[in-house]
């Protein structure tokens, strides 16, 4: 669909994962380039105003040089052992599992905030090896009672990464994390400070800056919708504002 849209001269906002494997994703990118159309992937979390504020603080050097960072995206949507074997769990239809679904967002924020990744060592696991087949059309969260069939992709993945800047990091994603509902966020440490964000408190950015180095506190910066790209489509907040407590 992505290739066909590009060849038809249509600009593309495409959902992740772009393809079931790297080859399919590359085909969409190549088609967009050949057709001269604009293309982007729906990594919407980078547009949260607090994330835009974090990127600004990092780029301006307020936390010094980034040394290490952690990114996570943990969910429970597939934690039920009787969750229906939908298209998300078969390689022929979805390709990857939590790697394409959730880890892609964590990887995007890592690149967006810290920079390119140059090396990775990783592990993955499937904790619910079989799921019941549904009798008909099913939803993301539906359960079923049909015959069990194998899950063909990963429930959990984690990796250690190196960034081009020399910083180190870790990324983790799970779709079977009981008690986690969209537990998405990051903690980024630099030589002079740190920033941290949790999607579940979207407008709050935890910030530590200055020259204290030891025994310093994180303050909460309440980031309004005037930061980042939000004002382009939500013009009501005419000016940027942020309050620190």
Q: Which residue, 244, 230, 190, 242, is CA-closest to 45?
A: 230
User: How far is Cα 128 from Cα 82, in angstroms, rounded to an integer?
Assistant: 9
Asked if the bond preceding 93 is cis, omega within 30° of 0, the reply is no
Residues 49/230, Cβ–Cβ less than 8 Å: yes
pLDDT number for residue 229: 75
What are the φ/ψ torsions at residue 218 (nearest 5 degrees)? -95, 130
Q: What is the pLDDT of residue 243?
A: 47
Tokens found for residue 139? 């939803």
Backbone angles phi, psi at 7, to 5 degrees: -65, -25
Q: What is the pLDDT along the chain (245 residues), one digit of tens a residue?
A: 999 999 999 999 999 999 999 999 999 999 999 999 999 999 999 999 999 999 999 999 999 999 999 999 999 999 999 999 999 999 999 999 999 999 999 999 999 999 999 999 999 999 999 999 998 887 778 899 999 999 999 999 999 999 999 999 999 999 999 999 999 999 999 999 999 999 999 999 999 998 889 999 899 999 977 777 777 766 665 454 444 44
Domain residues of the chain, as ranges? 1-42, 44-244
What does the alpha-carbon distance between residue 193 and residue 49 come to, in Å, rounded to a whole number? 20
**Is domain 44-244 classified as CATH 3.40.50.300?**
no
Contact in structure between 93 and 166 (CB atoms under 8 Å): no
- pTM recorded for the entire structure: 0.90
Dihedrals phi, psi of 58, to nearest 5 degrees? -65, -45
């Amino acid at each position: 669909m992505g290739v066909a849209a590009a060849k038809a001269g249509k600009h593309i906002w495409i959902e992740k994962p772009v393809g079931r494997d790297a080859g399919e994703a590359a085909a969409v990118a190549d088609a967009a380039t050949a057709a001269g159309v604009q293309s982007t992937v729906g990594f919407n979390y980078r547009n949260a105003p607090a994330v835009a504020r974090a990127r600004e603080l990092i780029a301006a050097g307020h936390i010094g040089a980034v040394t290490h960072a952690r990114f996570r995206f943990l969910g429970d949507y597939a934690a039920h052992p009787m969750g229906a074997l939908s298209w998300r769990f078969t390689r022929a239809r979805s390709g990857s599992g939590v790697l394409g679904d959730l880890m892609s967002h964590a990887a995007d924020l890592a690149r967006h905030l810290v920079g390119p990744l140059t090396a990775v060592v990783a592990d993955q696991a499937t904790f619910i090896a079989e799921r019941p087949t549904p009798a008909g059309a099913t939803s993301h969260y539906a359960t079923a009672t049909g015959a069990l069939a194998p899950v063909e992709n990963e429930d959990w993945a984690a990796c250690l990464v190196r960034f081009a800047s020399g910083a180190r990091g870790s990324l983790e994603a799970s779709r079977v994390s009981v008690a986690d509902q969209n537990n998405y966020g990051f903690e980024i440490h630099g030589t002079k400070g740190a920033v941290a964000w949790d999607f579940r408190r979207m407008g709050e950015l935890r910030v530590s800056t200055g020259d204290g180095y030891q025994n310093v506190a994180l303050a909460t910066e309440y980031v309004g919708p005037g930061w980042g790209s939000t004002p382009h489509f939500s013009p009501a907040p005419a000016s940027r504002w942020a309050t620190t407590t």
